[in-house]
Amino acid sequence: MSLERGTEQITRVLLWRHGNTDWNAEQRVQGQLDVPVNDRGRAQAQAAAAVLARHETQLMITSDLSRCTRTAAPLAELTGLTPERDARLRERNFGDWQGLTTPEVRERFPESYARWRAADPDPGDGIESIADLGKRVSETIRQAAERVPGGTVILVSHGGAIKYGVAALLGWPEEMLPTVAPVQNCHWVDLMLQPSYGWRISAYNVGV
């Protein structure tokens, strides 16, 4: 069923962050390393799926990393959808920092860590720039919406990918980004595309 406001069809895209992992709890940089969800993450996914299944979703796409595909599994069971995988929904590549805890990063890479803390969009050490991250994720959002005009899409992704993908899609200025909180585990962002208005954000960091 399509969403309609007046005579216009509204396309909806929900960006859902994966469930908790042991590395989240350890404050260890995951980036694009394939870290699985833990028991808490699986329970989060099950609870969120019961809520998200209320939407009449036509398409579900996940990051190809297992913490996203495993998060998507309970919703796939409830909806009967077969999730597609798209590497463009992966988390930001954190280069030399991947696998390290935050204190280890601060000790080994003090200059780039300081730049990152100061919201430098390209801090170095092989870390993917905010511009590149936002471009690949926002493109995926647009293309997914084009496939189901007037319908609903769920994209299962990662905290940084969701935040910066949404920012790029909506044209948020760079200086605004540090004021936007990260999306929590198994929470989501609700976007709406209406022909007369374009893209708008309906809800941010929503959870069970």
Q: Which residues are annotated as a binding site for substrate?
A: 17-24, 67
175 is catalytic: no
- For CA atoms 156, 158, 164, 167, the dihedral sign is positive
CA angle, 186 as apex, 98 and 12 as ends, to 5°?
A: 110
In the chain, how long is the greatest CA-to-CA distance?
Answer: 58
**Considering 55, 91, 128, 187, which one is annotated as catalytic?**
91
d(CA 149, CA 170) in angstroms, rounded, equals 19
Write b or e for each residue in 8-19: b if 16 or more Cβ atoms lie within 10 A of its Cβ, otherwise e. Answer: eebbbbbbbbbb
187 is catalytic: no
Residues assigned a catalytic role: 18, 91
